[in-house]
């Protein structure tokens, strides 16, 4: 778990596209091999490649991806770099939030934290799905830790909880390229498939540390 979770985040430039933590067909029928290969090999690769191009010859070559994101957030002159660096990070995190035969009711510390913060898993699932479906346009829904409590939030485009002093625990990508090949405009079906069948609760629990 630790190598899968942290190696990419500790690296400095040039960044390399991290491989998926499972095979391209591991999430079928909920997320197809075609969607995963296109999303990972094209979209994610483009964000990583563009980040490398933008930081070449700059001070950011010595920064980790998270350091770049924090340094460029809210800086209009660095919007392009922020968007590509944050999307490189967001996609890495999103891949790790899923596994084959995932979903179901969580156990252990993450379940205790969810029950404490939301009252029950069902309340969490309802709030999380609503947040994901209500995100207007491209973005993400997140389970984050803030002030010692879990909460669900949504962000637009490349925005990321780490620039808002929130610790990401779980995320779902609701950009259209994440689901359109499989679900067309039925985002709600994509969201429920993710919640019920794809979430890697071990990764979420690891992020509580």
User: Does any domain span residue 73?
Assistant: no
Residue 133: Cβ-neighbour burial (10 angstroms; 0-12, 13-18, 19+): middle
User: Does any domain span residue 92?
Assistant: no
User: Does any domain span residue 4?
Assistant: no
Q: How many whole angstroms separate alpha carbon 150 and alpha carbon 54? A: 35
User: Does any domain span residue 11?
Assistant: no
User: Does any domain span residue 48?
Assistant: no
Predicted local distance difference test score (pLDDT) of residue 9: 64
Predicted local distance difference test score (pLDDT) of residue 12: 82
In terms of pTM, does the model score above 0.85? Answer: yes
User: Does any domain span residue 183?
Assistant: yes
User: Does any domain span residue 100?
Assistant: no
Q: Residue-wise over 153-192: b if at least 16 C-beta within 10 A, else e?
A: bbbeebbbbbbeebebbbbbbbbeebbeebbeeebeebbb
3-state secondary structure of 98: strand
Predicted local distance difference test score (pLDDT) of residue 3: 47
- How confident is the chain (209 residues) per 10-residue block, as mean pLDDT? 55 90 97 98 98 97 95 97 97 97 96 98 98 97 97 97 96 97 97 98 94
**Domain limits at 162?**
108-206
Predicted local distance difference test score (pLDDT) of residue 209: 84
Q: Which of 185, 113, 112, 106 is nearest to 152 (CA)?
A: 113
Number of domains forming the structure of the chain: 1
The CATH number linked to 169 is 3.55.40.20
User: Does any domain span residue 151?
Assistant: yes
């Amino acid at each position: 778990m630790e190598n899968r979770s942290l190696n990419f985040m500790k690296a400095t430039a040039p960044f390399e596209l991290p491989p998926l933590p499972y095979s391209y067909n591991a999430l079928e029928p909920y997320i197809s091999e075609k969607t995963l290969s296109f999303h990972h090999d094209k979209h994610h690769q483009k964000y990583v490649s563009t980040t490398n191009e933008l930081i070449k010859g700059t001070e950011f070559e010595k920064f980790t991806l998270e350091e770049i994101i924090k340094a460029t957030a809210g800086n209009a002159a660095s919007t392009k770099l922020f968007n590509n660096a944050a999307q490189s990070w967001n996609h890495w995190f999103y891949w790790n939030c899923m596994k084959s035969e995932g979903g179901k009711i969580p156990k252990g510390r993450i379940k205790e934290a969810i029950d404490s913060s939301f009252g029950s898993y069902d309340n969490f699932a309802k709030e999380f799905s609503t947040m994901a479906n209500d995100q207007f346009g491209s973005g993400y829904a997140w389970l984050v830790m803030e002030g010692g409590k879990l909460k669900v939030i949504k962000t637009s485009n490349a925005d990321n909880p780490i620039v808002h002093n929130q610790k990401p625990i779980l995320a779902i990508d609701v950009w259209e390229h994440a689901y359109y090949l499989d679900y067309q405009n039925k985002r709600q079906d994509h969201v429920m498939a993710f919640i019920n069948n794809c979430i890697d609760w071990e990764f979420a629990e690891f992020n509580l540390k």
